[in-house]
């Protein structure tokens, strides 16, 4: 199960979009900790094991998508 996370960063023209194996609740907890001052960075891990770090004071918004199973297969055109 993966969740899509979109992060808006102040003074940045594009948002950051990652697929994470973390649950929506874990992502929400990390965002809440960053915004409350418990952490100075929002730290998330994508589905390839890479860490994404965003300074908490630069967060504009975080959109957490629904958890979904990986889509595998082919499509006919």
Q: What span, in angstroms and rounded, lies between the C-alpha atoms of 72 and 60?
A: 33
Strand order in the sheet with 3-9: 16-20, 3-9, 59-64
User: Which pair of structure tokens corresponds to residue 36?
Assistant: 């409350």
What per-residue confidence (pLDDT) applies to 67? Answer: 77
Classify residue 69: in a domain, yes or no: no
49 is a domain residue:
yes
Asked if residue 42 is part of any domain, the answer here is yes
Domain count, the chain: 1
Q: Is 10 within the bounds of a domain?
A: yes
pLDDT at position 62: 96
Strands 51-55 and 41-45: antiparallel
Q: What CATH number is given to the structural domain containing 28?
A: 2.30.30
**Which run of H or of E encompasses 4?**
strand 3-9
> What domain range includes position 15?
3-64
* Residue 31 included in any domain: yes
Q: What is the pLDDT along the chain (77 residues), one digit of tens a residue?
A: 789 999 999 999 999 999 999 999 999 999 999 999 898 999 999 999 999 999 999 999 999 998 776 566 666 66
Decide if 71 is inside a domain. no
Task: Determine the straight-line distance between the first and last CA of the chain, rounded to whole angstroms.
Answer: 27
């Amino acid at each position: 199960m993966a969740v899509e996370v979109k992060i808006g960063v102040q003074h940045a023209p594009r948002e950051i979009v990652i697929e994470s194996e973390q649950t929506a609740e874990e992502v929400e907890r990390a965002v809440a900790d960053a915004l409350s001052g418990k952490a100075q960075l929002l730290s998330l891990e994508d589905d390839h094991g890479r860490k994404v770090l965003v300074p908490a004071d630069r967060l504009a918004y975080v959109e957490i998508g629904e958890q979904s199973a990986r889509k595998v297969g082919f499509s006919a055109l």
